[in-house]
Copies of this chain bind each other. A is one copy, B any other.
Amino acid sequence: MATGRTHRPATRSRGIPEATVARLPLYLRALTALSERSVPTVSSEELAAAAGVNSAKLRKDFSYLGSYGTRGVGYDVEYLVYQISRELGLTQDWPVVIVGIGNLGAALANYGGFASRGFRVAALIDADPSMAGKPVAGIPVQHTDDLEKIIDDNGVSIGVIATPAGAAQQVCERLVAAGVTSILNFAPTVLSVPDGVDVRKVDLSIELQILAFHEQRKAGEEAEAQAGAVLEAEAAAAAAKETGKGPDGDVPAVMPA
């Protein structure tokens, strides 16, 4: 189990590094903005600045796609937009279903960037019968019972899970069984899926925790001006604070070696 290895026939597909793939949408966005301003060409330096990366990285990234630039000149904006779109598979239409139409699901359904680029919200699905038929973002919500039929009728291969954590794995399994092979998971839980299914997760709480870590570190550096090496001694004392969960007030402070 676990995410395991990547058995894959090994072959096919140009070997575009995952990190590069993750940046292509960024470049595409910057290029689209240039295109709208009718800018004909752009240098790696300029485009990199607009996308928030450095130019060497950008050139390396593009080199995986092919030689789409002109030395001494730069890149043709329109041409690059097309090439990247094609590489990302955005020249085709991707019907998407959103499962779980709570606050977040509704926000996603209303999200403009959705439709703008290749993606089309094919259906909204929720387990609450009282939601059925109610339009959200102009699309009537359908009941979970019909999930399989909806997936099938619309040829959906990408699903978005915006349900509570408790329902996510079950919804995931039904989506996969119905033929979905890519899932964007907003529920704060680890989904387990069979080989060949892609899952990406977006987790607000995790992002905030990462920020908190750095924030704390900044504060610590300031204090370093005077205080010397701080040992873990205070940890035990502080452990008696709250970690607050459950009826018991205080939390253990087990000391290992």
Contacts and interface: CB of A to CB of B under 8 A. Distances in A.
Contact of A238 (B48, B86, B205, B208): B86
Interface string A75-107: 010110111011111111010100000111011
Interface residues of A, number: 133
Contacts of A217: 3, 12-14, 89
A149 to B, nearest CB: 21
Contacts of A86: 233, 235, 238
Given A5-B218, A202-B253, A251-B82, A232 B107 contact: no
Interface string A183-196: 11000101011001
Contact of A208 (B87, B184, B230): B184
A39 interface: no
Nearest to A205: B113
A7 B242 CA distance: 15
A131 to B, nearest CB: 16
Contact of A232 (B18, B48, B92): B92
Contacts of A246: 5-8, 36
Given A229-B11, A254-B202, A213 B96 contact: no
B94 A215 contact: yes
Contacts of A218: 5, 181, 196
Copies per complex of this chain: 2
Nearest to A51: B190
Contacts of A90: 209, 212
A192 B48 CA distance: 13
Nearest to A73: B256
A68 B256 contact: yes
A210 B25 contact: yes
B256 A79 contact: yes
A224 B190 contact: no
Residue in A183, A199, A241, A251 with the greatest tally of chain B CB atoms within 10 Å: A251
A212 B94 contact: yes
Interface in A1-49: 1-3, 5-18, 21-22, 24-26, 28-30, 32, 35-36, 48-49
Interface of A: 1-3, 5-18, 21-22, 24-26, 28-30, 32, 35-36, 48-54, 66-70, 76, 78-79, 81-83, 85-92, 94, 96, 102-104, 106-108, 110-111, 113-114, 116-119, 157-158, 181-184, 188, 190, 192-193, 196-218, 220-221, 224-225, 229-230, 232-233, 235, 237-257
